[in-house]
A and B are shown apart, each in its own frame.
Chain A
Amino acid sequence: MNDVIGLAPWLIGIPLIGAAILLLGGKATDRWGHWLGVAASAASGVIGFILMFRMIGTPAEERSVDHHLWTWLSAGGLDVDLGLRLDPLSLVFVMLVTFVGTLIHVYSVAYMDHDPHRRRFFAYLNLFVAAMLTLVLADSYLLLFVGWEGVGLASYLLIGFWDTGRPSARENAVAAKKAFVMNRIGDMGLIAAMALLFAGTGALDFATTLSDDTLGSLSEGTATAIGLCLLLAACGKSAQFPLQAWLGDAMAGPTPVSALIHAATMVTAGVYLMVRSGPILEAAPTAQLVVVIVGAVTLLFGAVVGTAKDDIKKALAASTMSQIGYMMLAAGLGPAGYAFAIFHLLTHGFFKAGLFLGAGSVMHAMGDQTDMRRFGGLSRFLPITWITMGLGWLAILGIPPFSGFWSKDGIIEAAFIPVEGQPWRAWVFGTVAVLGAGITAFYMTRLFFMTFGGRRPRWTENQHPHEGSPLMWWPLVFLGVGSAALGLVLGVGGTFVTWLEPVVGHAEHHEPVLPVPVIITSTLVVVVLGALLAFRMYAMSLVPEEAPRGSFLTRAARRDLYQDAANETLVLKPAHGVARLLQVGDRDVVDRGWSLLPQVLSWFGAVFRKAQSGYVRSYAAGMAGGVLVIAVVAWLVVGLGGAQ
């Protein structure tokens, strides 16, 4: 391992240099800039593969290596090195980010072909890859935070990529800002967590803070506070309830961005943070419970919203939110859930990226139309997209042997494991997980058949859908294969769980409250029921071109269960009121208060000015009177004093 560890910094360095060249090079790099971007990402991927192979050849207990680069921050008892941690967990992410990232880079070469700013797009993508790798390779919370906000910045830049020169420019810019600000609300949690950690343990690096000795010295109250702060951060980044509102709007960015950042990698960083901080959460059962609750709520929230969206990208975004809910739920279940959280994260990265790129392919074919009510019958025209998205669809449904089955089923089983002293938990969260699977089946089947199935096309004006260039469909094929086979390869025999064990710890075997075959069967039954219902509604019958008014629930789901309205009423309006009040207060109280001082002074001046009449005689009288007064006083004082 140690002979190749020197390559690790280049994982981050190469894409970073790529981004710098593309940004600073300006128009000179326009012609070949996109290929440089692809090459930088691919080079990172190659390094990742080398490291991966070496790690596989290393004994399990020696797989975690900290690579020190230079002393970053050293002041007042806080010593943080700029260092990278390579272990099975971070390398899983490296592989996911570089492999899916490179595929999406390639796809973007074709997808962004007609955009005059394609070079800038690739610069931002490379920046994202560098930041994301910093996030997962960091060996301390502080460096993790650099990547954490770095991906936030890349996300901001890419969501707002089309922020000038189109009718929706301003909306895109607002969506970008919303994403960044809501992420920052979460980041407050990470800052507070670091403050608590430093106060409690005197360090911020993983090696110290997550060791058993250190955690043993933390009180449960502190650990709970740290856990909840970290959860807040994770909620912001991973669009979990209650900070989920930005993800739907983030679909304003180009579709490859949605695939890479807002489906496969960045939004799952919250799950990574939770799993990485597992030892802290285990020391704080209350925080763990809250994590599970947040995961469960978001899981249902996203799924319900997904059922009503007609915009293909927003439906997928809601689905992403819901699937991350699964991961978050698993991350709150302790060692039994960590491996499956990451496993689902990995398989989800593949099938959701595939679904998003497929959606991009459909949009490309349909003239940037995103309304699924305007699609239909596309399977004949876009066969490759149809098949690859079909594989993704089967994967997300969790149909065996497609990849989603292996990871999602693991989470559902883990959710059914009883917790000592709280028997209700296994039943509640297990049921929620199964129910979520059913709703997922419904909305994904709806999405799939509204797009590709249907009795007749519902296209607008004369459209001629066709498959894009090979640059676009080869990535789809790769991701489709991954969606189909990844779970089987890594899931059978628990390969993946064993792989992660050195990091997340060995989970004691617990029996779920129901027998495993019962859980699997009932989940599959619920999934098939959901899928059949959607098939009946959207494949067998006609889909109206205009959305029907729908029930109350449908309308609420269409508006994201009123999340924006709630934020507006509960947070933005009061905050704006306070700000206005302060503004008026500053002008009329503080500023006016200070200008009162010179006013008082000038009033005194006005009074005493009257004495300056300009009449010489009045001055003379003043002098005479003054002399008289002094004389009398002197006489009284000296005279009387002398008399004594």
Chain B
Amino acid sequence: MDITNYVVLAAVLFAIGATTVLLRRNAIVVFMGVELMLNATNLAFVTFARMHGDLTGQVLAFFVMVVAAAEVVVGLAIIVTIFRTRRSASVDDVNLLRG
């Protein structure tokens, strides 16, 4: 297998994820975009680890998964709270950080 295919797949996945984050309003979907980006990165990590024969990349992928899991927990909790108070999960309704 040519290594390029993996890298291109990772890049495509990352782009899809990033586009999702930027374009979708629903917080859950935005969240899924973030997950997609994280996993695209994981894919790249694993690919290069294999290529260089160095386990560091794979170890990092595990770290990312752990962080992603934690992030999902916290993130979903926030989203649920926002939904409860606002009856909406649209990210555009939440702009309290406006300067």
Do A and B come into direct contact in the complex, CB within 8 Å? Answer: yes
Residues of A within 8 A of B (CB): 609-617, 620-621, 624
- Can you list 9 A-B contacts (CB < 8 A)? A609-B99, A610-B99, A612-B99, A613-B98, A614-B97, A614-B98, A617-B22, A617-B30, A624-B22
Interface residues of B in 50-99 (CB under 8 A from A): 91-92, 94-99
Residues of B within 8 A of A (CB): 18, 21-23, 30, 91-92, 94-99
Q: Tell me the smallest distance from the CB of A441 to a CB of chain B, in Å.
A: 92
Q: Measured between alpha carbons, how far is A26 from B96 in the docked complex, in Å? A: 72
Q: Could you count the A-B residue pairs with CB atoms below 8 Å apart for me: how many are there?
A: 32
Q: Tell me the smallest distance from the CB of B91 to a CB of chain A, in Å.
A: 5
Which single residue of chain A is at the shortest CB-CB distance from B19? Answer: A624
Asked if A613 and B95 sit within 8 Å, CB to CB, the answer is yes
Asked if A621 and B99 sit within 8 Å, CB to CB, the answer is no
Q: A615-B91, A615-B92 are in contact. Are A620 and B99 (CB under 8 A)?
A: no
Q: Tell me the smallest distance from the CB of A620 to a CB of chain B, in Å.
A: 6
Q: Tell me the smallest distance from the CB of B35 to a CB of chain A, in Å.
A: 15
Q: A617-B91, A617-B92 are in contact. Are A612 and B97 (CB under 8 A)?
A: yes
Asked if B18 and A624 sit within 8 Å, CB to CB, the answer is yes
Asked if B22 and A621 sit within 8 Å, CB to CB, the answer is yes
Q: Tell me the smallest distance from the CB of A631 to a CB of chain B, in Å.
A: 12
Q: Measured between alpha carbons, how far is A422 from B30 in the docked complex, in Å? A: 109
Q: What residues of chain A lie closer than 8 Å to B95, measured between beta carbons?
A: 613-615
Asked if A612 and B22 sit within 8 Å, CB to CB, the answer is no
Asked if A611 and B21 sit within 8 Å, CB to CB, the answer is no
Q: Measured between alpha carbons, how far is A12 from B18 in the docked complex, in Å? A: 97
Asked if B96 and A620 sit within 8 Å, CB to CB, the answer is no
Q: Tell me the smallest distance from the CB of B39 to a CB of chain A, in Å.
A: 18
Asked if A617 and B21 sit within 8 Å, CB to CB, the answer is yes
Q: Measured between alpha carbons, how far is A617 from B97 in the docked complex, in Å? A: 12
Q: Tell me the smallest distance from the CB of A604 to a CB of chain B, in Å.
A: 13
Q: A621-B22, A624-B22 are in contact. Are A616 and B99 (CB under 8 A)?
A: no
Q: Measured between alpha carbons, how far is A84 from B18 in the docked complex, in Å? A: 97
Q: What residues of chain A lie closer than 8 Å to B22, measured between beta carbons?
A: 617, 620-621, 624
Q: Tell me the smallest distance from the CB of B54 to a CB of chain A, in Å.
A: 23
Q: Measured between alpha carbons, how far is A616 from B91 in the docked complex, in Å? A: 7
Q: Tell me the smallest distance from the CB of A280 to a CB of chain B, in Å.
A: 75
Q: Tell me the smallest distance from the CB of B75 to a CB of chain A, in Å.
A: 12
Q: Tell me the smallest distance from the CB of A223 to a CB of chain B, in Å.
A: 74
Q: Measured between alpha carbons, how far is A617 from B22 in the docked complex, in Å? A: 5
Asked if B18 and A616 sit within 8 Å, CB to CB, the answer is no
Q: What residues of chain A lie closer than 8 Å to B96, measured between beta carbons?
A: 614
Q: What residues of chain A lie closer than 8 Å to B30, measured between beta carbons?
A: 617
Q: Tell me the smallest distance from the CB of A489 to a CB of chain B, in Å.
A: 97
Q: Tell me the smallest distance from the CB of B62 to a CB of chain A, in Å.
A: 25
Q: B30, B94, B95: which has the most chain A beta carbons within 10 Å?
A: B95
Q: What residues of chain A lie closer than 8 Å to B91, measured between beta carbons?
A: 615-617
Which single residue of chain A is at the shortest CB-CB distance from B33? Answer: A620
